[in-house]
Amino acid sequence: MNNKSKKIALSALISSILIIFFIFIPILINFYNRESFLYYDTGNDVYSVAISSDGSYFAASTETSIYLFSKSQSTPLWKYKTNGVWSIAISSDGSYIAAGSASNDLYLFSKSSKIPLWNYTLNDKMASVAISANGSYIVAVGGHNLYLFSKSNATPIWNYVSTEFIWRVAISSDGSYIAAVDTYNSFLFSKSSKVPLWNYTTNPVILGLAISSNGMYIAVGDFTNTLYLFNKISSIPMWYKKCSSSGFIYSVAISSNGSYIAVGSSDKNIYLFKKDSPTPIWNYTAEWAFNSVAISFDGSYIVASSSTIFGSINGTPPPPEGEVYLFDKDNSKPIWHYDIGNYITSVAISTDGTHVAVGSYDDKVYLF
């Protein structure tokens, strides 16, 4: 190789290094830098957040309003005023947003407008809402009632009435399967019928629920700190595990194919399981309870919030505190954590784990 060729090769190598340094390194720094975030002050407690698959859009609900945001700006794309909204959900591409209010109303929005496509008044206050990945189906619970809707109109496809209060609902990616939990029972439904495919009676008060994208696996967490994993074909659990002798399960998340299950508990631990075993891969202990968890599509990343629990200590309410943690599935040591300084109500994560949305009682919505 002559000197001219060597200079050309060296120049090309330097150019490649500069491209890597100036393009890819900042991306990695942004991913691992907990200080890189946007936030918006809503002026009211934030109850729930949801994020689109690619992180381009995220929605939030407060005690007075529903918001839609774009990741490119900290001000809302739109805002809709209503009574307290405890639960919100967004379709995979961000095109549709479902939300339920304390005035018993279920709303469906398009991302293009704050004017609802439709709304429906339930028999009781909304406890939970979920939407299929393509936005075609919406499920909602109010009191003892579970409803399935099509995005095309506000008339329920069907309505199931339980003898107990229904706490949570979840739906598979294409809307074919719906999971729900009431005070004592876990249910699996097909979208074609309000008659459950099966139900399973567990210990009292079930707060944690998640279903895999394909509807194959359902994870349930109860008030005795026990996690149950089901296959859709049977009401008999594949396995169950009491995470610890104290506390209860606040929140459950499951990866798209069901391979990984994350559990947030009031015992101040987050646990990560693989579907093949009731023994956790790892757990991490924080200062406060883990009250909300979410997991990326393939299970590689887990986001969780640890917050002081509502209630009192010797008659005195604990000071509001909360931290956000991001984990890699292969390590119990957090990639990063961020102190919000107030009670965190909800976390959500994009498909690839690069964006995290957080809602808090400091009135702010965060995007990391």
Any domain includes 216: yes
Nearest to 66 by CA among 26, 109, 18, 34: 109
Asked if 8 and 70 sit in the same domain, the reply is no
Any domain includes 67: yes
Cα–Cα distance, 7 to 192 (Å, whole number): 69
User: Looking at residue 18, what is its pLDDT?
Assistant: 35
User: Looking at residue 83, what is its pLDDT?
Assistant: 85
Any domain includes 37: no
> Hey, CA dihedral for 277, 281, 287, 289, is it positive or negative?
negative
Asked if 257 and 306 sit in the same domain, the reply is yes
Cα–Cα distance, 107 to 85 (Å, whole number): 10
* Of 263 and 29, the one with more pLDDT: 263
Asked if 47 and 21 sit in the same domain, the reply is no
Asked if 231 and 309 sit in the same domain, the reply is yes
* Of 5 and 189, the one with more pLDDT: 189
Asked if 16 and 115 sit in the same domain, the reply is no
CATH number at residue 158: 2.130.10.10
Nearest to 142 by CA among 194, 103, 198: 103
Q: What is the dihedral of CA 181, 129, 216, 166, to 10 degrees?
A: 10
Cβ neighbours of 83 (radius 10 Å): 13
Any domain includes 99: yes
Say if residue 31's pLDDT is above 80: no
Q: What is the pLDDT of residues 205-255, one digit of tens each?
A: 778 999 999 999 999 999 999 999 999 999 999 999 999 988 999 999 999
Any domain includes 113: yes
Asked if 5 and 90 sit in the same domain, the reply is no
At residue 32 the predicted structure's pLDDT band, cuts being 50, 70 and 90, is very low
Which domain range does residue 324 map to?
42-367
Asked if 168 and 200 sit in the same domain, the reply is yes
Which of helix, strand or coil describes residue 31?
Answer: helix
Asked if 282 and 345 sit in the same domain, the reply is yes
User: Looking at residue 320, what is its pLDDT?
Assistant: 85
pTM given for the model: 0.88
Strands, sheet with 301-307, edge to edge from the N-terminal-most edge strand: 289-295, 301-307, 322-328, 331-339
Any domain includes 236: yes
Q: What is the pLDDT of residues 87-97, one digit of tens each?
A: 999 999 999 99
Asked if 16 and 73 sit in the same domain, the reply is no
Decide: 233 and 218 in contact? Cβ < 8 Å.
no
Any domain includes 1: yes
Q: Return the minimum-mean-pLDDT range out of 152-166, 176-190, 201-215, 278-292.
A: 201-215
Task: Give me the DSSP letters along 246-262.
Answer: S--EEEEEE-TTSSEEE
Asked if 21 and 124 sit in the same domain, the reply is no
Domain count, the chain: 2
Say if residue 363's pLDDT is above 90: yes
Asked if 314 and 187 sit in the same domain, the reply is yes
Asked if 204 and 258 sit in the same domain, the reply is yes
